[in-house]
């Protein structure tokens, strides 16, 4: 199963995602509370997949995706945000995110997105 | 301030809370305030930038905040209860603001939201510079929720339009 990095400034969301993903057999290798921390942890931990919030202090999730994709073009990142505006989803995808989960989410939506992205060779 | 802004926040508030907890909130009254003086002891503040700019403040009783988070999580670790309630109510407000921006979205334009800040206690006043505040009071079986909106149209949208077309 996959090594996953969770990025969200809300402790409650990291906790919920951890429970869902560990239940599905994945390992949470690290957590970050903002985009800069996400980039630093990504370089250190080299996760198979990153779940990334957008609205965070200092460096936001869109900027973090750009930083990570520049460092590792093959990085697999799924956005997980309350901000579901079409233009923002398109921007995230354009920056290299593979999927976009809008909060509040259903557990099965998270599992489906993670399995799809981990299974893809893109 | 346009009535559509108000309607978006009321709709988003009702929908998000109902989806997460099953609790129904209903709009009770709307009034104007010179300043958004929160009525209750837990307040969450978020900023909005883009073609609409300003601030939103959610205010509710501590017991209402706790009930919402407990109903959302279904179970809660007693040792982490206080931290999770603060984080949970901030995240619920973030989801309401996020859903509102989706309801207000426009082609080629992006609304951005600042991370929510939470304030507890009732001895403070938040002043929004040069923006009148509309307050929506909502009621539910677990207590009231007040949403204060100080929003206006902005000229920033052209900049964000360019950004969204990068």
Average pLDDT over residues B145-152: 94
Count of the separate structural domains present in chain A: 1
pLDDT single digits (tens) A38-56: 999 999 999 999 999 999 9
> Is pLDDT above 60 for B157?
no
Mutation for B interface: A12, A19, A95, A96, most B CBs within 10 A? A12
Across chain A, mean pLDDT equals 96
Across chain B, mean pLDDT equals 89
pLDDT band at A95 (very low <50, low <70, confident <90, very high): very high
Average pLDDT over residues B3-16: 95
> Is pLDDT above 80 for B164?
no
Q: What pLDDT, on a 0 to 100 scale, did the predictor assign at position B156?
A: 62
SS (H, E, C) chain B: CCHHHHHHHHHHHHHHHHHHHCCCCEEEEEEEECCCCCCCCEEEEEEEECCEEEEEEEEECHHHHHHHHHHHHCCCCHHHHHHHHHHHHHHHHHHHHHHHHHHCCCCCCCCEECCCEEEECCCCCCCCCCCCEEEEEEECCCCCEEEEEEEEECCCHHHHHHHHCC
Query: What angle (nearest 5°) sits at the alpha carbon of residue A68, between those of residues A65 and A72?
Result: 130
Nearest-CA distance from A44 to chain B in Å?
Answer: 26
The beta-carbon neighbor of A103 closest among B95, B105, B113 is B95
The ipTM estimated for the assembled molecules is 0.93
The answer to whether A93 contacts chain B (CB < 8 Å) is no
Q: What pLDDT, on a 0 to 100 scale, did the predictor assign at position B132?
A: 82
pLDDT single digits (tens) B33-63: 877 678 899 999 999 999 999 999 999 999 9
Give residue A26's domain range: 3-118
CATH code: domain of residue A103 = 3.40.50.2300
Q: What pLDDT, on a 0 to 100 scale, did the predictor assign at position A120?
A: 65
pLDDT band at B75 (very low <50, low <70, confident <90, very high): confident
pLDDT band at B142 (very low <50, low <70, confident <90, very high): very high
């Amino acid at each position: 199963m996959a090594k996953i990095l969770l990025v969200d400034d809300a402790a409650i969301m990291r906790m919920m995602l951890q429970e869902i993903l560990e239940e599905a057999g994945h390992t949470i290798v690290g957590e970050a509370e903002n985009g800069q921390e996400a980039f630093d942890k990504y370089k250190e931990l080299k996760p198979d997949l990153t779940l990334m919030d957008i609205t965070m202090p200092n460096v936001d999730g869109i900027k973090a995706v750009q930083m990570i994709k520049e460092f590792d073009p093959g990085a697999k990142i799924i956005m997980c945000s309350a901000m579901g505006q079409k233009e923002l989803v398109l921007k995230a995808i354009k920056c290299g995110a593979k999927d976009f989960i809008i909060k509040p989410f259903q557990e099965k939506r998270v599992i489906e997105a993670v399995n799809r992205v981990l299974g893809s060779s893109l | 301030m346009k009535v559509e802004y108000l309607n978006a926040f009321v709709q988003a508030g009702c929908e998000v809370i109902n989806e997460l907890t099953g609790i129904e909130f209903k709009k009770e009254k709307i009034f104007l305030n010179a300043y958004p003086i929160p009525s209750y002891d837990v307040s969450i503040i978020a900023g909005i930038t883009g073609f609409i700019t300003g601030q939103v403040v959610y205010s509710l009783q501590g017991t209402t905040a706790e009930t919402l988070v407990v109903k959302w999580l279904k179970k809660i670790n007693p040792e982490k209860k206080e931290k999770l309630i603060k984080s949970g109510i901030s995240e619920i407000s973030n989801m309401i603001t996020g859903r509102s921006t989706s309801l207000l979205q426009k082609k080629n334009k992006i609304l951005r939201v600042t991370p929510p800040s939470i304030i507890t206690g009732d001895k403070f006043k938040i002043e929004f510079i040069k923006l009148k505040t509309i307050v929506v009071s909502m009621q539910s079986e677990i207590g009231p929720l007040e949403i204060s909106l100080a929003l206006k149209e902005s000229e920033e949208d052209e900049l964000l339009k360019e950004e969204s077309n990068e």
